[in-house]
Amino acid sequence: MNQHDIKAQFARGRGINLDQAEVVADHLYDWQPYAAAGQTELAFFTEPVNSGTSTFDATQKKTYEDTNLEQAGQMPRGEAFLIEYVALRFVPGVDPVQETVAAAAAAVATNPAANDSAAFWEQGYLDMRLANKPQVLLGPLSNFPPPQRFDLHVGGTVSVNQAAAADAAYQLEGSYLTPVGRLFKLQEPGLTLEYAINFKFSLKWSKAVPMPSATAGRVQAILIGTRMRAQQ
């Protein structure tokens, strides 16, 4: 078999074809923990799947529940991603539905989930860079509402009046807060992430913003756009 025939066989047997590409609508995403005491920077897309520590289970490495990034800070060979929209999702570490039973006094609504959300969304800014060139420098973080959100409708109070020492109140209340608005759209035609070109996505604060509930939360960075990859 001559050299030309061998090359032709290799070409026919390729699992991917770098000379042709397919495009699909897709998302890049990454979850990171938000410390109860806050921090001054939170970096995303620095650890690909099967590395680091899972945000959902500290005994495991990152899974596809945490991120779908295959290579730290850049696209894998044979792929590119056109970012069209940027979004964030914040999940408080406290249950948005609170149940309280208090003796001799009415329960007081504290709205811990909404308070934590307000502290997160009302401060900070996004610093997104490609090859260390700033692409987005914008705050507060409420400029980047999530594509989906929870709607929570809950409330009610029942009081029982007996002897003064036995008075009691039962309260069920719920709270959830998230910004509502259009997805943040990058200027046309968007921003292309390519193999071997690093990108950085960081949330920054001038000083740490602690959670009012003193409970750690979670943050998801979401890049919405189109993935181009070598044809399979």
Residue 166 lies in a domain: no
| Dist CA 140 CA 138 (whole Å) | 7
Residue 212's pLDDT band (cuts 50, 70, 90): very high
Q: Residue with structure tokens 């992430």?
A: 193
Residue 201 lies in a domain: yes
Residue 155 lies in a domain: no
Residue 4 is predicted with a pLDDT of 62
Q: Tell me, what CATH number does 86's domain have?
A: 2.60.120
- Asked if residue 35 has pLDDT above 60, the reply is yes
Residue 105 lies in a domain: no
Residue 106 lies in a domain: no
> Structurally, how many domains does the chain consist of?
1
Residue 8 is predicted with a pLDDT of 67
Residue 33 lies in a domain: yes
Residue 140 lies in a domain: yes
Residue 10 lies in a domain: no
How do residues 155-176 score in pLDDT, each as one tens digit? 666 666 666 555 666 677 788 8
How do residues 65-124 score in pLDDT, each as one tens digit? 999 999 888 898 888 999 999 999 999 999 888 776 665 555 455 788 999 999 999 999
Spatial strand order in the sheet of 41-44: 41-44, 199-204, 125-130, 133-138
> The domain containing residue 124 runs over which residues?
20-92+118-146+181-231
- Identify the DSSP state of 165: G
Residue 41's pLDDT band (cuts 50, 70, 90): very high
| Dist CA 36 CA 218 (whole Å) | 10
| Dist CA 66 CA 50 (whole Å) | 10
